[in-house]
Amino acid sequence: MTTLMENEPTAEAPASKSHYFEWFGRYGALLVLAALIIVTSILAPNTFPTVDNAINILNQSALSAIIAMGLTFVLVTGEFDLSIGNTASLAGVAACWLMVNQDFSIPLALVAILVVGGIVGLINGFVVTFMNVSALVATLGVGTIVIGVNYMISDGAPVALGDPDAFLEITFGRFLGIPYPVYIMLVIAALLWWLLNRTVLGQSMQAVGGNRVAAELSGIRVDRVRVIAFVVCSMCAAVTGFLLASRTGSAAVSAGDTYLLSAFAASFFGSAVLRDGQFHILGTLVGVITVSVGFNSIALIGLETYWQYFFQGLLLILGVGVGTLARRRAAA
Amino acid sequence: MTTLMENEPTAEAPASKSHYFEWFGRYGALLVLAALIIVTSILAPNTFPTVDNAINILNQSALSAIIAMGLTFVLVTGEFDLSIGNTASLAGVAACWLMVNQDFSIPLALVAILVVGGIVGLINGFVVTFMNVSALVATLGVGTIVIGVNYMISDGAPVALGDPDAFLEITFGRFLGIPYPVYIMLVIAALLWWLLNRTVLGQSMQAVGGNRVAAELSGIRVDRVRVIAFVVCSMCAAVTGFLLASRTGSAAVSAGDTYLLSAFAASFFGSAVLRDGQFHILGTLVGVITVSVGFNSIALIGLETYWQYFFQGLLLILGVGVGTLARRRAAA
Amino acid sequence: GGSSSGSDGGDDSYSVGIVRFAPSEVTTEAVINKYTKLAEDEGWEVTTANPDGAVDKAIGAMQDFVQKDVDLIIVSVIESKSLTAGLKSAKAAGIPVASIAGGGADGVTFDLVVSPGTEVPEAMVKNMGGKGRVLALGYKPGLPCQLREDAFNKTVEGTDITVDRQEVLIPGQLESGQKFATTWLAKNPKGSEPLSIWACFDDPAMGAIVAAKQAGRDDVKIYGYDGTPPALKALKEGQLAATAAPDTAGSAQMLFDATPDVIKGGVDAEPKTEEIPFPIITPETLDQYLKDNPGADAS
Amino acid sequence: MTIRPELDVPAQGDEGEKMTGATDSVRPGPEPTTTGLLQMRGISKSFGGSRALDGVSIEVEPGSVHALCGANGAGKSTLVKILAGLERADEGEILLDGRRVEVANPRDAADLGLSFIHQELNLVPKFSVLRNMAMGSGHPGRFGILDLRRLRREAKAVQERLGFDIPLDVEVEQLSVSDRWMVSLGRSLMRDARFIAMDEPTASFTDEEASRLMAVIEELTSDGVGILYISHRLDEVLEVSDTITVFRNGQKVATLDSAQTDRQELTTQIVGREVEKLVSRLEAEADETVAETRPVRLSVRNLSRAPRVIGASFDVHEGEIVGIAGLVGAGRTELARLLIGADRATGGTMTLNDAPYAPKSPHEALRAGIALVPEERRSQGLVLTDTVENNLAMAEHGSSPSMRSRFRPKSSRATGQALMERFSVKARSIRDTAHHLSGGNQQKVVVGKYVRTSPGLLVLDEPTVGVDVGARAEIYRIITGLASEGTSVLVISSDFEELAICDRVLVMRGGQLVAEVPASEFDEDHLTALCFGSHESSGTTETEEA
Ligand SMILES: Nc1ncnc2c1ncn2[C@@H]1O[C@H](COP(=O)(O)OP(=O)(O)OP(=O)(O)O)[C@@H](O)[C@H]1O
Ligand SMILES: Nc1ncnc2c1ncn2[C@@H]1O[C@H](COP(=O)(O)OP(=O)(O)OP(=O)(O)O)[C@@H](O)[C@H]1O
Ligand SMILES: O[C@@H]1[C@@H](O)[C@H](O)OC[C@H]1O
Ligand SMILES: [Mg+2]
Ligand SMILES: [Mg+2]
């Protein structure tokens, strides 16, 4: 239809200002990270901008990143998962318990806790899809039950390995000077990125998150996709729990709980990175690293406790807010 | 018009079955509560079904109910508030600090913390509406800053009143044998119910939650309504914090944090009470009481720790799930 | 490993990194605050990080302090055994680690042990005449609580006391205490037998007091630990039968005094422990305690 | 309050806000000659560099209907949105009663007595009719107490005025599209609207419902209300309006007097060139033997899902275009959903290419080669926030046998690009967000995504709702093109005119297929009569079963 083609975008004067805002909207969150790095480099020139510290930050990010990237899968499909922290805790306890009481080898324990994670994910998915309970309630409920299982296994007391050295090696081993957890994080990130962006499954997840009805009518098996997202998420949580236990050679009943909020914070922060509120793996990774850099900066500069909270809160709001504000301007 | 009337649902055989499911969908959550009461009455006939214990349960529900009903306002408008727990903690600390260090009277302290709550709500609302940050991130960020403020005031240490008797009276005083907090809960419930169902503001909130674009188009000042919801919510959280402090005459820096999840659980449970997933004050109240009854039952029957978690998780899932499953059947 | 940067060239100005536990942990927060004050008065540089109770964040903070090349890392409450990753990093960098109430582990060269406060259950058993029923509110994940509970169990063993145990939730400790106590009191009416509630720290004990007050019960004796300001107040009013209080100022001083030696000792020094005394306080000894610890009440 | 009248007349209903001082007569006042109720002058608006409106002016007289016509994306809705305070004009001014007004947000518009019924119905589904009508009314700026009795009284009065009678306590969710529309209209009248803009009100109406609306409009104009009316149904526009303004590519190209214009001229103005009259299937390649000569693709026997579909039986042959006519609520959408397994049939059988066919999900249907272009493209067809590219790929993913299959973005994009060209989808690029496309182009994307899976049978539910004449012709061309390639097509439509492209039309009434009309007997009035159940038909096969 030739007539319709006339309306092509014309490069006009007002566009430049709006382009500027658009740029800001896209890179706003990254700018916040950059500003953070620059300021800290100035304030702590000897300790912050070093290769060692960069590796240190990546290493600290690894566990949070893995659980947050898993959560991203669930968020991409338009769901929620409040049970990840509990699942991570359970995974750690279960892994240590299996190694101590059932003489499981490390790889076998890993497989076992992946299965455990998978089952939790299946249950979440079942309650959400089949019972039609909103994901928030469902995962809150399942999470509570997971705590119960955890208590049943451990009776609430920490489970410690008798001879933890091999297990600890997962956390402390290095290859080319870089700790294993960093590699694990990167491999999982690559895998999840590929799953989300280079497979039909991943594309289907994004479609389900975008419009569930349209996805269903497009032939996408919506319920199956949602269940898979929950399973991936819980399995990532389980891996984080496993690695957490390998940091200590022992596992406590609520060790992983704190990951819940931090994973949400990272994912939401990440949804403002380069995108307009869509969750994506790279963004989540940037989100986790931003939080780690923030925490690292505080520790290196040394701030009063209350400043630490101010700082974290502001980081979150500004990281997301700068981008959305700019995008709003760009659209206006 | 007339043409459509021909096609009226015909009263056929399947209709009665679907009516049955509809009834179940409506009353499913209440049935769960009823079942709970009956079973516990049988298992603990001397201690559970007594007037004393009923008062007990109501009294235990009061604080949770107040904060959860506030949260319901925010949920009704389609938003979220993750800062309520922190706000409650801050309110308690601020109240005690003002009474100890600034010689505020009790009523004056109450007014002051209502103002504090209101300010937190305004900030939440501002970040969500003006900065356009998703409520989850915004309130997580503001909540973190609130912790910082709390820490700044108290330096992390609990603040205790020198002569707490008058303050304690708020929690321990009784009128006609019923503790004051129960009255406070009921008065706030009535007020909030009225606000939500009998004022233009309340209708506007529901409209904003039901379809934000439609609300905007019909001339409702959507942003203002959302900000007000956040303010109401934070003020309720502040009241809960205040009452929390009046139990011991002192306040700790994170005393109110646990109310966050329980308030969410109650509100979501409540959205399945008599309704089809819409949040409402009465439902939230039922949700809170169900959780209290559940806890009370477990403790009276005397179950292992892990059973307590299983039970709570199941209660949540079933309370909501029974209703939605039945509704789904009714629709099928 | 080489010790610190420019700071140990003769002058005694140290750089100390402190990993707190969480704002809710009253006792150690008080120790850390006092220690910080002492150290800063001396011109040392003190940096604190707040992991909010998360082990992983605590390890991260230790590693950050390694990057910062501090002279000493102090960690509080979190079990040292679970900090392996952080301890290893510190050891590799030659930075000694001291713990407040976290117990010993490889890499910890100074441990400020909190005694289990056995006097509290002893007083309880005595008050009950060796028989009756106790609601025990424990918290397994916490090392100090675990130690206190062990001591409690040992003391009760062999008496005619029946124990109903419940696990307290943190956060939410006060609520847990209140809820468990409320129903337990309903189940165990006045006059049935000697009744007590024992909590492994003061917060759930305070919850139990609230429950007892609401139920109008004055026949139940309630016990706690930590000596928090509200607990001291409750002691004064006779609502709490006993608590135990560490001398936080004394502990801070102890840690402060030990600091130079710990730093000089380096990572390979023989691990040293100092016990924080944890004496019982009862309504009778309260006045004496307040006299000895001015400000314990208000802080 | 951001209403800033530039002349010294207080804003209505607002005493608190005084004039913003600047009434200095620096700016020339409006020409005293204009009597129009509402004027928009020199309005321009760009979206990220592309011009949606370019200095257009329009005037609506009290008691008259001013129609706005133009192709999809011409800028009609944008103009309305500016008037409603949803978008801000880059340039231009709005005058009400000759006075310049500022409309910064919908609230201002409401306070000025401007009412809107937007293209997307804007109701709260879970609210009752009464609550929807009451929304946004009440005293502006004051949080009053709800006077339910008064509201009910007022709503009753409005209903009487509009001549409809929907129970006030029913949830809007339960209503048919046209009833919902009446609720929207009712809301405008709850606050004494002096001006109502209606953006494609009849898009999904049957002729009967449309004429009901015409009556209401007449009633409103006789009360002096000014109406701005947007529609792609040109006959209707000519009938209802007094004046017609035509937009093309964001510019005003003509203002016509309805009485002196005909459809032909209007079409030419809209498209910018002459468009051949819709060619009926009969005239084009009349092939009534299709049914006899070609093999049956889908055979449906006694398909039921009471009460909406009862005992439907029909065949669709290869390369055949079959229409399904009926009134809204006749059960056509339900029938289509049964065909693709979106709902499960409670009785009956189907065979597809002679094999038993009982889809349990749209996935299975798509795998078997049956696709449905759903009736609501925004809520059921598209991910509005995603790119055209991804929207075009969706059904292909959905029909993929394994979710583990590789997704190749490059080849996927190339395929998408080809589809865009084939269907002449107009967008800034394939990376453009679906949300930015005009209605017609969105519809082409939805059709495109299903065509991409090469279905043997394509079911289209109301394929041209809200699509302009030009794009409509293109969609017909796509449909007939697919048929000539051997694809079977089932077209559900309430716009009987377009059923002319069919080889055969089935008529559905009250959940049953009641008649079959071959192309040779195609006639709109005849179809309408059948839909209503008047039996004065000649030669039509009446298939009264069940
Ligand atoms: N929010 C937006 N961002 C970017 N472009 C937009 C936006 N809204 C509209 N447009 C563009 O502005 C132009 C005019 O759109 P508008 O919706 O006004 O057309 P219309 O005449 O109402 O079309 P239709 O008949 O399909 O409803 C179109 O090219 C459209 O793509
Ligand atoms: N009797 C009725 N009761 C409730 N809702 C009805 C009734 N009749 C029609 N509707 C509504 O009208 C809509 C269209 O109904 P349905 O899909 O069954 O008919 P249709 O023939 O496909 O109509 P259309 O012409 O809109 O395609 C449905 O969404 C339904 O909500
Ligand atoms: O003070 C408490 C401590 O003694 C216990 O071990 O863990 C919980 C703490 O709050
Ligand atoms: Mg339009
Ligand atoms: Mg339909």
Residue D282: pLDDT band by 50, 70, 90 thresholds?
A: very low
pLDDT at A108 over 90: yes
The count of other CB atoms within 10 Å of the CB of residue B35 is 11
**pLDDT of D275 strictly over 70:** no
Q: Is the peptide bond before C141 cis (omega within 30 degrees of 0)?
A: no
CA A136 → CA A141, A266, B262, B265, C227, distances in Å? 9, 18, 12, 9, 39
Instruction: Give the pLDDT of residue D434.
Output: 92
Q: Would you say residue D279 has pLDDT above 60?
A: no
Which atom of ligand 2 is the closest one to the Cα of D375?
Answer: 27
Mutate to test the pocket of ligand 3, among C99, C137, C198, C226 (most ligand atoms within 8 A of CB): C226
Q: Which pLDDT value is given to residue D474?
A: 85
For residue D164, the tally of other CB atoms under 10 A from its CB is 18
Nearest chain C CA: its distance from B28 CA (Å) = 27
What is the C-alpha to C-alpha distance for residues C123 and A10, in angstroms, rounded to an integer?
87
In this prediction, residue D101 carries a pLDDT of 92
Give the pLDDT confidence of B169-209 residue by residue, as tens digits: 999 899 998 999 999 999 999 999 999 998 889 999 999 99
Question: Do chains B and A touch, with touching meaning 3 or more CB–CB pairs less than 8 Å apart?
Answer: yes
* Residues of chain B numbered 12-71 and touching chain A (CB < 8 Å): none
Mean pLDDT is lowest, of D112-121, D210-219, D450-459, for D112-121
Contact A234/A124 with Cβ under 8 angstroms?
yes
- Nearest by Cα to D389 from D412, D358, D371: D412
Question: Would you say residue A193 has pLDDT above 60?
Answer: yes
**Are C84 and A168 a contacting pair at CB < 8 A?**
yes
- CB of D509 within 6 A of ligand 2: the answer is no
Backbone angles phi, psi at B266, to 5 degrees: -65, -45
How does pLDDT run across B2-33, given as a tens digit for each residue?
222 233 333 334 445 667 777 777 787 888 88
Mutation test residue for ligand 3: of C82, C200, C243, C248, the one with most atoms within 8 Å of CB: C200
Q: Around D461, how many Cα atoms within 13 Å sit in the side-chain half-sphere? A: 24
- Which whole number is the average pLDDT over D512-517? 90
pLDDT for res A16: 53
Residue among D49, D71, D361 minimizing CB distance to A11: D49
8 Å CB contact of D367 and A219: yes
Is the pLDDT reported for residue D292 higher than 90? no
Which residues lie below 8 Å from residue C222, measured CB to CB, with a gap of 6+? C196, C197, C198, C199, C205, C208, C209, C212, C239, C240, C241
Tokens of A103: 């003489």
Per-residue pLDDT of C5-30, as tens digits, reads 444 444 578 999 999 887 667 778 88
Joined together, the tokens standing for residue C215 give 């139920």
Tell me, what's the pLDDT at C6?
40
Q: Which helix (H) or strand (E) holds D68?
A: strand D65-70
What would the mean pLDDT of B303-323 be, rounded to a whole number? 84
> What is the tens place of the pLDDT at every residue in C45-92?
998 888 877 788 888 889 989 988 999 999 998 888 888 889 988 999
Q: Is the pLDDT of residue D158 over 90?
A: no
For D319-340, what is the mean pLDDT? 90
pLDDT tens, B213-246? Answer: 888 888 888 999 999 999 999 999 999 999 999 9
**Pocket lined around ligand 3, Cβ cut-off 6 Å:** C 25, 27, 139, 142, 144-145, 170, 201, 226
Residue B68 parent element (H or E): helix B51-76
Rounded to the nearest angstrom, the distance between the alpha carbon of D163 and the centre of ligand 2 is 21
CA separation, residue B266 to residues A13, B38, B40, B271 (Å) = 54, 21, 20, 9
pLDDT at D140: 43
The SS3 assignment for D53 reads strand
Alpha helix (H) residue ranges in chain A = 13-43, 51-76, 84-101, 106-129, 135-154, 165-172, 180-198, 200-210, 212-217, 222-248, 259-270, 281-301, 305-331
CA dist list (Å): C167 to B36, B208, C83, C145, C171? 23, 43, 24, 11, 12
User: Are B52 and C206 inside 8 Å of each other by CB?
Assistant: no
Taking phi first (over 0 means left), then psi (-120 to 50 degrees means alpha), and beta for anything else, what does residue D105 get? beta
At C293, the amino acid letter reads N
Coil, strand, or helix at residue C244? Answer: strand
Q: What distance in Å separates the CA atoms of residue D248 and residue D243, rounded to the nearest whole number?
A: 17
φ/ψ of D64, rounded to 5, equals: -130, 165
pLDDT for the residue numbered D20 = 37
Could you tell me which residue, D280 or D482, shows the higher pLDDT? Answer: D482
Distances (CA, A) of B78 to C268, D126, D132, D287, D343: 59, 13, 17, 56, 30
Closest by Cα among A264, A249, A244, A260 to A86: A260
**Cis bond leading into D307, ω under 30°?**
yes
Largest Cα–Cα distance in chain C?
70
In angstroms, the CA D398 to CA D222 distance is: 53
Beta strands in B70-199 (DSSP E): 159-160, 174-175, 178-179
| Contact by Cβ (8 Å): D509, D330 | yes
Average pLDDT over all residues of chain C? 87
Would you list which residues of chain C are within 8 Å, Cβ to Cβ, of chain B? 22-24, 26, 29-30, 33, 164, 166-167, 169, 171-172, 174-175, 178-180, 182-184, 186-187, 203, 206, 209-210, 213-215, 228-230, 233-234, 297-299
* Average pLDDT for D150-155: 87
The verdict on B210 touching A (C-beta cutoff 8 Å) is: no
A1: confidence class by pLDDT, cuts 50, 70, 90: very low
B50-99 residue pLDDT tens: 888 899 889 989 999 999 999 999 999 999 999 999 999 999 999 999 99
> In this model, does residue D18 exceed pLDDT 50?
no
- pLDDT band for position D120 (cuts 50, 70, 90): low
Tell me the average pLDDT of chain B: 87
Residues D260-271 have pLDDT tens digits of 888 888 888 887
Average pLDDT over residues B259-264: 89
pLDDT, position D277: 55
Of the two residues B123 and D39, the one the predictor is more confident about is B123
pLDDT confidence bin for A4, thresholds 50/70/90: very low
D539 has pLDDT over 60: no
Residue B254 sits at the chain A interface (C-beta within 8 Å): no
pLDDT of residue A331: 62
Indicate if the pLDDT at residue B144 is higher than 50. Answer: yes
Which residue in A329, A246, A324 sits closest to A26, CA to CA? A324
The angle formed by the CA atoms of residues B2, B6 and B10, to the nearest 5 degrees, is 145
**By percentage, how much of chain D surpasses pLDDT 90?**
38
* pLDDT over threshold 90, residue C278: no
Which among C55, C64, C88 is the nearest to A172, CB-wise? Answer: C88
- B226/B73 Cα distance (integer angstroms): 9
- Which pair of structure tokens corresponds to residue D146? 């709800």
- Write the CB contacts of D198 (distance below 8 Å, at least 6 apart in sequence): D117, D185, D227, D228, D229, D230
What integer is the mean pLDDT of B143-168?
88
| A282-314 pLDDT, tens digit each | 999 999 999 889 888 887 887 777 888 898 899
Residue in D439, D490, D481 with CA at minimum distance from that of residue D464 = D439
Q: What is the mean pLDDT of chain D?
A: 82
Tokens of C132: 């009756």
Distance between CA atoms of residues D434 and D432, nearest Å: 6
- pLDDT of D229 strictly over 50: yes
Mean pLDDT score, A188-196: 96
The pLDDT value given to residue B7: 32
Highest mean pLDDT among B108-122, B275-289, D474-488: B108-122
From the CA of A306, how many Å to the nearest CA of chain D?
A: 39
Specify the 3-state DSSP secondary structure of A77.
coil
What lines the ligand 1 site, CB under 6 Å?
Answer: A 7; D 47, 52, 70, 72-78, 119, 436-440, 468
Reply yes or no on whether the pLDDT at D17 is more than 80: no
Question: Nearest Cα to A174, choosing from B236, C89, D480?
Answer: C89
Model confidence at D21, in pLDDT bands (50, 70, 90)?
Answer: very low
Collapsed DSSP state (helix, strand, coil) of residue B133: coil
pLDDT score recorded for residue D280: 52
Contact in structure between C298 and B157 (CB atoms under 8 Å)? no
CB contact under 8 A, D398 and A220: yes
For residue D333 and ligand 2, the question of a CB distance below 6 A is answered with: yes
**ipTM for the predicted complex:** 0.85
pLDDT attached to residue D285: 56
Write down the pTM of the prediction.
0.87
Instruction: Collect all residues of chain A within an 8 Å Cβ-Cβ radius of residue C84.
Output: 164, 168, 247-249
Considering only residues D121 and D41, tell me which one the structure prediction assigns the higher pLDDT: D41
Q: Side chain identity at B289, as an amino acid letter?
A: I
pLDDT band at D321; cut points 50, 70, 90 = very high
Ligand nearest to the CA of A18: 1
CB burial class (10 A; 0-12, 13-18, 19+) of residue A38?
A: exposed
Touch of B by D (3+ CB pairs closer than 8 Å): yes
- Atom number in ligand 3 closest to CA C24: 10
Q: Which two tokens stand for residue C199?
A: 């909590």
Residue D495 in contact with ligand 2 by CB distance below 6 A: no
Q: At what angle do helices A84-101 and A51-76 cross, to 10 degrees?
A: 110
Percentage of residues of chain D with pLDDT beyond 70: 85
CA angle B284, B288, B291 (to 5 degrees): 135
Pairing relationship of beta strands D541-542 and D512-518 according to DSSP bridges: antiparallel
Task: Report residue D394 as tokens.
Answer: 């969706």
Q: Judge if the beta carbon of residue D330 lies within 6 A of ligand 2.
A: yes
DSSP string, C78-133: S-GGGGHHHHHHHHHTT--EEEESS---TTEEEEEEEP--THHHHHHHHHHTTEEE
Half-sphere exposure of D188 (CA within 13 A, CB side): 29
Quote the pLDDT of residue D8.
34
Question: Three-class SS of residue D371?
Answer: strand
Q: What is the mean pLDDT of residues D22-51?
A: 65
In this prediction, residue B272 carries a pLDDT of 81
The pLDDT value given to residue A15: 46
